[in-house]
Amino acid sequence: MKTALITGITGQDGRYLAEYLLSLGYRVVGMVRGQDNPRRSLVQEELPDVELATGDLLDQASLLSLIARVKPDEVYNLAAVSFVPLSWNQPDLTGEVTGLGVLRVLEAIRHVGGNIRFYQASSSEMFGRVETSPQNESTRFHPRSPYGVAKCYGHHITVNYRESYDLYACSGILFNHESPRRGPEFVTRKITRAAARIKLGRQKELVLGNLDSKRDWGFAGDYVQAMHAMLQLPSPDDFVIGTGVAHTVRDFVETAFAAVELPWEAYVGTDAALVRPAEVDHLRADPRKAEVQLGWSPTVAFEELVRMMVEADLVAESR
């Protein structure tokens, strides 16, 4: 039985990854911060077979102790300050957790030793203001948020430790991936939850920022399988993971409201205050390397993903 350690176990990706690894027969240990983590009970209810252990990306000693005790075969670093708008309000914390946190995990792995394989959750936000589309593993990074900058650091330090210490360390440059487990602060859940609430008469309108931003959206449950596949290769490498198809925020809104048979124009407005200080206008993945070398491709199309989220929110809001 292999053992996997997942940081960020309470998030969308952490829970889908834990679910997938358990189905493959793994022992799964999830790292949580402290005893009072408000989402600890959520993981315990959804995934009772996951072992929870305390650790903190801000605390090197806790990571050393955790990795030495758990003795993982694979470490998946999914923890981050991951809500991009928040990174402008808390840039220092974002850098410490999302950037330097990666370094601390790598240092712990290096000091503990053994044949631990490491996965870093990189992000399409690293591309930022793109000059070419679609984006692949060779596209230049130009991040447009403190979050994107911190992710670039995490990505490059992973490459550096791979080259400097011969660690099995790789990064998945994942484009936007969503699910019913997405946090309500993210624009996709904000949209699907509002569509459900408006349909049920619990909300009157939805106010958003830039409706013209384009993103490559896929299903998180598909993407965690790509993470696992990367760590099964003979040699570590980095991969872009996405669908290869981009849609605007407006497309997402239209699809969500169509799922509840409502005209979105009657309920959706915009507010310039919700637009990012530095916008990322157009992200679209070129996932051909992953398709060839990992045998990975998405199984859930955009329209199906949006409907899945709306239907889950209708059920949740009807309780």
Is residue 147 part of the annotated active site? The answer reads yes
Is residue 87 part of the annotated active site? The answer reads no
Q: Which of 123, 145, 171, 179 is catalytic?
A: 123
Q: Which residues are CB-neighbours of 150 under 8 A, at least 6 positions away?
A: 80, 81, 87, 94, 95, 97, 98, 99
Q: In the chain, which residue ranges form alpha helices assigned H by DSSP? A: 12-23, 40-46, 60-70, 84-89, 91-94, 101-112, 146-165, 187-199, 220-230, 249-259, 288-293, 302-318
Token output for 242 = 């996405």
Q: Which of 74, 125, 178, 254 is catalytic?
A: 125
Is residue 185 part of the annotated active site? The answer reads no
Nearest to 103 by CA among 63, 132, 49, 50: 63
Torsion of Cα atoms, 196 then 198 then 203 then 208, to 10°: 80
Q: Which of 16, 26, 76, 147 is catalytic?
A: 147
Token output for 18 = 């834990």
Catalytic residue positions, numbered: 123, 125, 147
